[in-house]
């Protein structure tokens, strides 16, 4: 059996396990943790389209999460519009915001782009915290918005148990992974990688690096906003400090950098390794040591950058390839 067949069998096995987990894990607490794990894996994979392949470092993606969450929630509470429709509207608004931010900033080098994205996210958070109404839209300032669990069902994007949320975010994650794979194999993906590694050489060969990065920023912003709607419907309560926080932006970037930016499985590995640490810190040290998980992430990031600069996916991939390509013991014929 060759390695391609083994890879397909392993992939099918992982998918089967992922879809079967709610049948085995009956605890609502553990399902909640799994949902958040997949949620951050989805966010990081969406971030990876621009932050991984394009070679830039956006640190304000929580702003797009907030745009998606507030758009769908406000439309649902004030106008009775389905959160599914609000999810798409929020995605489009976030995409427009991403393009507006990207036009002047994606030409910046190094830390300047990262600082610009931080400034945008923080500016949006401060604005939302300090105004109750945005035109006719009530966003309720620092008090946030609460979604009353009045009607459950798929059309209302609201469920009485955790299982439907689990399957929704799992399917969203699989779709964004598929999209990432398609981008990595497309002309856009090659342009992004070339522009990320050697922008001057890529431009000399006729690659429009700025245009490729802007497309990646637009796609990443749209996908990230979809997760904002999911989070709002899952938690039923949003406020600026939770949904547009720098903590979330940094955590997304840390997961990608530690797992392996610019790869398909890196964000997933990063989420699997780091999200349990984050949940543990919030449960046991959230009151006494807030932000401890980010300190741990930072220390882990330093070690990874020193010893595995391409992320943890590289040694894990090497180990996996070594296992599946291990020579089989010779069998003596009868």
* Cβ proximity of 65 and 224 under 8 Å: yes
Structural domain tally of the chain? 1
Helix axes 187-197, 163-184, angle to 10 degrees: 80
Residue 331 lies in a domain: no
**pLDDT given at position 21:** 93
**Does residue 128 lie in a domain region?**
yes
Q: Is the pLDDT at 262 greater than 70, yes or no? A: yes
pTM of the model: 0.92
Q: What is the mean pLDDT of residues 40-47?
A: 96
Which residues sit opposite 237 in a β-bridge?
A: 146
Taking the C-alpha atoms of residue 329 and residue 293, their distance in angstroms, rounded to an integer, is: 46
Over 50: is that where the pLDDT of 80 sits? yes
Percentage of the residues of the chain whose pLDDT score is greater than 70: 96
- CB–CB of 47/98 below 8 Å? no
Q: What is the residue-averaged pLDDT of the chain?
A: 89
Question: Which band of pLDDT confidence, cut at 50, 70 and 90, is reported for residue 2?
Answer: low
Residue 148 has pLDDT above 80, yes or no: yes
> What domain range includes position 27?
3-324
| Cβ atoms within 10 Å, residue 136 | 8
In a domain, 305, yes or no: yes
Q: Is residue 269 included in any domain, yes or no?
A: yes
pLDDT in tens, 208-253: 888 999 999 999 999 999 999 999 999 999 999 889 999 899 999 9
In a domain, 100, yes or no: yes
103-147 pLDDT tens trace:
998 877 778 889 999 999 999 999 999 999 988 889 999 999 999
- Tell me what the mean pLDDT of segment 176-182 comes to: 95
The reply to whether 333 falls in a domain is no
Mean pLDDT in residue range 67-90: 96
Would you state the pLDDT for residue 282?
74
CA separation for the pair 65, 220 (Å, rounded): 11
Q: Please name every residue paired with 238 in a beta bridge, in sequence order, or none if there are none.
A: 145
pLDDT value of residue 298? 83
Residue 286 has pLDDT above 50, yes or no: yes
**Predicted confidence (pLDDT) at residue 331 exceeds the cutoff of 70:** no
Q: Identify the weakest region by mean pLDDT among 2-11, 26-35, 213-222, 238-247.
A: 2-11
CATH code for the domain in which residue 148 is found:
1.10.3470
Percent of the chain with pLDDT over 90: 58
pLDDT band at 334 (very low <50, low <70, confident <90, very high): very low
State the pLDDT confidence band at 327, using cuts at 50, 70 and 90: low
Q: Compute the distance between CA of residue 232 and CA of residue 260 in angstroms, rounded to an integer.
A: 28
């Amino acid at each position: 059996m060759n390695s391609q067949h083994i890879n397909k069998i392993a992939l099918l096995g992982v998918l089967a396990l992922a879809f079967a987990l709610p049948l085995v894990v009956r605890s609502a607490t553990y399902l909640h943790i799994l949902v958040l794990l997949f949620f951050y894996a989805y966010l990081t994979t969406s971030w990876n389209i621009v932050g991984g392949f394009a070679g830039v470092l956006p640190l304000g993606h929580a702003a797009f999460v907030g745009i998606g969450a507030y758009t769908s929630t406000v439309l649902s509470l004030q106008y009775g519009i389905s959160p599914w429709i609000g999810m798409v509207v929020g995605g489009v608004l976030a995409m427009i915001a991403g393009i507006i931010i990207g036009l002047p900033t994606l030409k910046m080098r190094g830390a300047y782009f990262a600082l610009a994205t931080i400034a945008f996210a923080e500016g949006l958070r401060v604005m939302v915290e300090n105004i109750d109404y945005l035109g006719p839209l009530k966003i309720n300032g620092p008090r946030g918005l609460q979604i009353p669990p009045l009607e459950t069902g798929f059309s209302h994007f609201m469920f009485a148990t955790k299982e439907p949320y689990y399957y929704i975010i799992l399917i969203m994650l699989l779709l964004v992974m598929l999209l990432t794979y398609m981008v990595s194999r497309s002309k856009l993906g090659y342009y992004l990688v070339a522009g990320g590694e050697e922008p001057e050489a890529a431009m000399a060969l006729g690659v429009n690096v700025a245009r490729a990065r802007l497309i990646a920023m637009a796609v990443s912003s749209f996908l990230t906003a979809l997760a904002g709607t999911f989070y709002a419907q899952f938690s039923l309560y949003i406020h600026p400090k939770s949904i547009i926080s720098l903590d979330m932006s940094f955590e997304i970037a840390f997961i990608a950098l530690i797992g392996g930016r610019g790869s398909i499985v890196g964000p997933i590995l990063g989420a699997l390794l780091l999200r349990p640490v984050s949940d543990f810190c919030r449960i046991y040290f959230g009151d006494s040591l807030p932000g401890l998980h980010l300190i741990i992430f930072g220390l882990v990031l330093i070690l990874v950058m020193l010893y595995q600069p391409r992320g943890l996916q590289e040694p894990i991939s090497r180990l996996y390839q070594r296992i599946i390509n291990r020579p089989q013991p010779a069998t003596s014929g009868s």
